[in-house]
A and B are shown apart, each in its own frame.
Chain A
Amino acid sequence: MPPVFAYIVHRSGVADDTAAELLAAARRIDPGRPVTAIVTGWGDDLDGTCEGLRAVYPEIWKIARETLACPNAELVRQALVQVLPAGAILLVPHGHFGVDLSPGLSVKLNAAYVPDVLEIEGVEGVWLQAVRQEFGGQVSAHVRANMAHGAVLNIRPGAFRPADRASAAGQIVDQSAKVGALTARRVYLETIAAQTGDVDITKEAVLVSIGRGIGEQENVAIAEDLAEAMGAAVSCSRPVVDAKWLDKSRQVGSSGQTVRPKVYLACGISGSFQHLAGIKGNPFLVAINKNPKAPIFRVADVGIAGDILEFLPALAARVRQEACLPGTGLPGKGRRA
């Protein structure tokens, strides 16, 4: 029985967390089928990654090429087309590299493509049944994919729980010789690191985070006022940065910052998986959203269905009352009975 293949994303000689998740996803296709990791790259980074994967995968295919040292989906695609057997099933993490690689790869392999897979429910004959999400996670969908000519399945990071059981020492197979000339019409130049802003949201214990529901630029002040009252910082989801209402350095998510606060107030944020991917450390998550069906309520600890433009000022006023304890002698804002 041919193996299921898993394309491993790695950095600085270490496989991404998704490496073990792809193995778990492959077992959902067929628990009895072997799973082979494919790693492309060059030098110590590649060797270190392959060595580390021996604890996870029974077999690791190594493809070493100097031009593969830098990320380039066009070159990786050519290499994969040359090494994969006909009809192969390949799993790829649905991240920034996966969306670059997989759609075109599926065309070149003449294989079915299913992006952003959350769950694999089983296989009947050539048909794979999987679960995806649409409309920013507001609804899910069952999809069936015909794998008669193989399949490329992009797996959502975090969706599959890695098995606890590690495999025996895996075998590294150098497949580099099977790969001929690689030519790209897209050439990697450099990576520009994220710019740091005035506030480092990754170091904040409490975040008041705003999304599209803030409505307009003037309303950002409402969140800033609450943050000031709470001794917190303001962060946001992507639409707020797209609208240029806050700096990119304030964005939480897979394409922004990864934060580890104690408390996270998601205000007018629907809760796309790209946003949630940036919230780590299991904070106390409060969601305030006028749509009671917003996906954020599925993951929040506490939810409030309401308009943030009314709720946040009320909360800020109450926080200030709270800080002004009886006996501090400050006038005006005593505690309510």
Chain B
Amino acid sequence: MEILVCAKRVPDTAENEIQLDRSGTEIGRDDLVYSVNEPDNYAVEEALQIAARTGGKVTVVTVGGEEDEEVLRREMAMGAARGVLLSDDAFEGSDGRALAAILKAYVQTEHFDLILTGVQADDGCAQVGGMLAAMLDYPFASVVTSIEVLEGRKLKIGREIEGGSKEISAIDLPCVLSIQTGINEPRYVGMRGIRQVASVPIPTLGAAALAIPPGTVGAAAARVKRQDYFVPPEGKGAEMLQGNRDEIVDKLIDLLKAKGGLN
């Protein structure tokens, strides 16, 4: 099975505090540690496991710039056969819909049986996979936590729904699935693996190669635009306990006693 995984390089929120910069309307990006969006990494692992069972290979694609190649190389070190970068000045400022349109144009230059994305990225939009599926007129399922390959170009998939329950469906190939974290245990990538793919060329495709008409993607075409970042007023907020650790523990013990937290 030929599998495409759409990945994104994002600030690693486990490693970073996201804060506003001096302008007060943008986040400070200078000291951020970037990595592959966590759900995308699970998607690559899932793709590799499916390809190992069914044959075929895994391609990882991202929309961005040169700095995003590191994400492609990381996923190639995991086992993806190739990475592809979709990059053009005309893509700058694209909204989710335009990103889906760029990816659609790429998908149509190749043949893929299955397309995976992470469930959502740093902006929490969870939108590109569903939009891409609709543009390709492929079936789609979001928040997928299990995939089983069936006979007759079908998959049996589980979706995570409310209350820890799982909704099981059959879905026709080709399709687009958005992958939830926890679906598998992504393999470890060591420095050695990264070094082995360090000099593998990464094909870069722009708007012309993808036959994307001018003005249909990028900032000018965006229907949804982020104006600024801000931190909402604190509101009531938590009463922060102050003092050295012993003092804080004492205060907390008193509060827990009062609230029934010590049985």
Q: Are B17 and A144 interface neighbours, CB within 8 A?
A: no
Given the interface contacts A134-B124, A251-B164, does A143 sit within 8 Å of B227 by beta carbon?
yes
Which applies to chain B's interface (DSSP): helix, strand, loop or mixed? mixed
The answer, yes or no, to whether B219 is at the interface (CB within 8 Å) is no
On chain A, the residues within 8 Å of B175 by CB distance are: 185-186
Q: Which of B139, B240, B248, B262 has a CB less than 8 Å from the CB of A74? A: B139
Q: Which of B124, B126, B185 has a CB less than 8 Å from the CB of A244? A: B185
Given the interface contacts A262-B260, A263-B259, does A255 sit within 8 Å of B223 by beta carbon?
no
Q: Are A191 and B166 interface neighbours, CB within 8 A?
A: yes
Q: Are B164 and A257 interface neighbours, CB within 8 A?
A: yes
Write the B9-53 contact mask toward A (1 if CB under 8 angstroms, else 0): 001011001111000000100000000000000000000000000
Write the B230-263 contact mask toward A (1 if CB under 8 angstroms, else 0): 1110110111110001101110110111011111
Given the interface contacts A186-B172, A319-B253, does A284 sit within 8 Å of B261 by beta carbon?
yes
CB distance from A335 to the nearest CB of B (A): 11
Q: Which residue of chain B has the shortest Cβ distance to A206 in the bound complex?
A: B261
The answer, yes or no, to whether A200 is at the interface (CB within 8 Å) is no
Of residues B27, B100, B256, which shows the largest number of chain A Cβ atoms within 10 Å of its Cβ? B256
CB distance from A326 to the nearest CB of B (A): 16
CA–CA, A254 and B27, complex, Å: 28
Q: Which residue of chain B has the shortest Cβ distance to A291 in the bound complex?
A: B17
The answer, yes or no, to whether A231 is at the interface (CB within 8 Å) is yes
Write the A277-311 contact mask toward B (1 if CB under 8 angstroms, else 0): 00000001011000111000111111111100011
The answer, yes or no, to whether B200 is at the interface (CB within 8 Å) is no
CB distance from A97 to the nearest CB of B (A): 8
Interface size on B, residues (CB 8 A): 83
Q: Are A185 and B171 interface neighbours, CB within 8 A?
A: yes
The answer, yes or no, to whether A187 is at the interface (CB within 8 Å) is yes
Which applies to chain A's interface (DSSP): helix, strand, loop or mixed? mixed
Q: Are A188 and B225 interface neighbours, CB within 8 A?
A: no
Write the A192-208 contact mask toward B (1 if CB under 8 angstroms, else 0): 11110000000001100
On chain A, the residues within 8 Å of B223 by CB distance are: 112, 145-146, 149
Q: Which of B20, B128, B167, B185 has a CB less than 8 Å from the CB of A139? A: B20
Q: Are A187 and B164 interface neighbours, CB within 8 A?
A: no
CB distance from A92 to the nearest CB of B (A): 12
Write the A229-245 contact mask toward B (1 if CB under 8 angstroms, else 0): 01110000011011010
Q: Are B227 and A141 interface neighbours, CB within 8 A?
A: yes
CA–CA, A103 and B130, complex, Å: 5
Q: Are A192 and B238 interface neighbours, CB within 8 A?
A: no
Interface extent on A, as a size class? Answer: 35 or more
Q: Are B224 and A144 interface neighbours, CB within 8 A?
A: yes
Q: Which residue of chain B has the shortest Cβ distance to A130 in the bound complex?
A: B224
CA–CA, A173 and B159, complex, Å: 32
Given the interface contacts A74-B139, A186-B141, A319-B262, does A303 sit within 8 Å of B238 by beta carbon?
yes
On chain B, the residues within 8 Å of A258 by CB distance are: 163
**Interface of chain A residues 205 through 231 with chain B (CB within 8 A):** 205-206, 212, 230-231
On chain B, the residues within 8 Å of A193 by CB distance are: 165
CA–CA, A297 and B17, complex, Å: 14
The answer, yes or no, to whether A49 is at the interface (CB within 8 Å) is no
Q: Which of B97, B124, B169, B250 has a CB less than 8 Å from the CB of A113? A: B97
Q: Are A314 and B124 interface neighbours, CB within 8 A?
A: no
Q: Are A318 and B227 interface neighbours, CB within 8 A?
A: no
Using a CB–CB distance below 8 Å, which chain A residues touch chain B? 71-74, 95-96, 99-100, 102-108, 112-116, 129, 132-136, 138-146, 149, 184-195, 205-206, 212, 230-232, 238-239, 241-242, 244, 248-249, 251, 254-258, 262-263, 265, 270, 284, 286-287, 291-293, 297-306, 310-311, 314-315, 318-319, 322-323
A-B contact pairs, 19 of them (CB 8 A): A95-B162, A103-B126, A105-B134, A107-B135, A114-B224, A139-B229, A142-B230, A185-B139, A186-B169, A187-B169, A193-B165, A232-B263, A255-B161, A263-B256, A303-B239, A304-B248, A314-B246, A314-B249, A318-B250
